[in-house]
Amino acid sequence: MNLPLLLEPPAIRLATELLPQHTTALARLARLSCCSAVPVVTVVGKFNHGKSRLLNELSACDAFAVADRRQTTQLAEITAGNIQWLDAPGLDADTLGEDDALARHACHVAADLRLFVHSAKEGELDHAERALLQALAREHADCGRPVFIVLSQIDQMADADALARIQALLASQLPGLPVFPVSSVRHAKGVQDGKRLLVEASGIPALQAAIAAACAQIEPLRTREFDGLRTRLGAALQDIVDQRRAAVQQLDAELATARQAFITGLDAVLLKAADEVAVLQPVPDDAPADLPSSQFSSGRSLRSKIITGHLLASAKINLSLSSYLGAHGVHALPPDPSRAPTTMDTVLVAVLGISVKFLDDLRRLFCSNEGPERLRREFLHYFDVSQERVQRLQQRALPQRELERASDAQSGLASLPAPGSLQ
């Protein structure tokens, strides 16, 4: 049997992209949402510790291959006694290949009840076993999914004391998980020879009774696990929503502050320009500039002085406005394919140039109510569409998008069908 190809609900796919560290928990949640009524019991543990043989005894079918070497390398399953029994490939600390992925899927995603098998004759758990068992124990503590420790091959122990020692060791290493000492060999022999006491002494009936009790509770167990997982994963998505919302709010605040600072500074520049224009004198009509200087020297020089004053004021205003705009990232008009690139200087000269010759225009532009209002509106628009500003808005789009995706995933998880509702 290979990994089952289940169609994942879109919310699970989305949540997995956002929470890759919770891929297995999300796969389990999806599985719980559409699982069949039959409870799934999986054996896991190191190879050669007697998992397949134990399943043969528990299921009363000789369906699983047993050998004195690394045997099970694919998932094997049968349904017997209204239980789906899954035989996972033995874990091997030395190989982290596909077998381990299959074993992990079988015990973390597919199983309702996990039997962690450890051969009593091996003594203490090794590092890989401890890590696996701790992961299983965490899942049990978080969401109530049961884990039984099965101490297998107890007939191989020298005496009862040796068995008691290893049992006590396991209980101290993993308090809270039930430990079942069993011997599949004794059980098989007891059944074959009709020896009830040997069957009892094999520990298998006690394990079967505990499995049956857990399976009788499968619906509330699955519901509890489903609710627990959904709450935990929903909280992880909420963290993303909160973080991205804070990032978006921070960027919004920065954008608003920068815009307000631009407006305030621009108003100051426009006010200063208004002051410059306010003191300019009108060009006198009675002193034409083109008459010979000998006759009208005083009038001509006054007129040209006034015009020069207008030009200077205009150039000064132009300079202060363009350097203010440049300092705020408004260097050019936004690109428009229909016309040649337009720099801000060109615009300023165009806007202010017309007015240079006519003081009335200059005054309308800077000293009226509407003129500065129009300039403010136009320059603010150029500020809003300037390259730097647009780039900052794009930076905001990324957390905003993630925020929306996390909210979508949250509502998707909230509307997943509960276990049993699709049967």
Task: Tell me the CA distances in angstroms from 310 to 288, 362, 371, one per residue in order.
Answer: 17, 9, 18
Q: How far is the CB of 6 from ligand GTP (least distance, A)?
A: 25
Kindly tell me which of 66 and 367 has the beta carbon lying closer to ligand GTP: 66
What is the C-alpha to C-alpha distance for residues 313 and 280, in angstroms, rounded to an integer? 8
In the list ligand GTP, Mg ion, none, the entry touching 67 (Cβ below 5 to 8 angstroms by class) is ligand GTP
What is the C-alpha to C-alpha distance for residues 42 and 149, in angstroms, rounded to an integer? 12
Kindly tell me which of 151 and 240 has the beta carbon lying closer to ligand GTP: 151
What is the C-alpha to C-alpha distance for residues 219 and 198, in angstroms, rounded to an integer? 34
**Taking a C-beta distance cutoff of 8 angstroms, is the pair 413, 29 a contact?**
yes
Q: How far is the CB of 106 from ligand GTP (least distance, A)?
A: 12
Q: How far is the CB of 78 from Mg ion (least distance, A)?
A: 13
**Taking a C-beta distance cutoff of 8 angstroms, is the pair 29, 229 a contact?**
yes
Residue 119 binds Mg ion, judged by CB under 5 A: no
Q: How far is the CB of 139 from ligand GTP (least distance, A)?
A: 22
Q: Which of 42, 25, 41, 21 is nearest to 102 (CA)?
A: 42
Residue 69 exposed, middle or buried by CB count within 10 Å (0-12, 13-18, 19+): exposed
Residue 370 binds ligand GTP, judged by CB under 6 A: no
For ligand GTP, the binding residue among 13, 70, 195, 392 (CB under 6 A) is: 70
Q: How far is the CB of 132 from ligand GTP (least distance, A)?
A: 13
Q: How far is the CB of 151 from Mg ion (least distance, A)?
A: 17
Kindly tell me which of 56 and 410 has the beta carbon lying closer to ligand GTP: 56
Token pair 């049993």 in the structure block, residue: 420
Kindly tell me which of 48 and 386 has the beta carbon lying closer to ligand GTP: 48
What is the C-alpha to C-alpha distance for residues 130 and 142, in angstroms, rounded to an integer? 18
Residue 184 binds ligand GTP, judged by CB under 6 A: yes
Residue 59 binds ligand GTP, judged by CB under 6 A: no
Residue 16 binds ligand GTP, judged by CB under 6 A: no
Q: Which residue is nearest to ligand GTP (CB)?
A: 90
What is the C-alpha to C-alpha distance for residues 151 and 49, in angstroms, rounded to an integer? 9
| Total residues interacting with ligand GTP, rule: CB under 6 A | 21
For 348, residues 6+ apart whose C-beta sits below 8 A from its C-beta are 318, 321, 322
Phi, psi for 309 (deg, rounded to 5): -60, -40
Residue 94 binds ligand GTP, judged by CB under 6 A: no
Query: Under the rule (CB under 6 A), what is the footprint of ligand GTP?
Result: 47-53, 66-68, 70-72, 90, 152-153, 155-156, 183-185
Query: Under the rule (CB under 5 A), what is the footprint of Mg ion?
Result: 52, 71-72
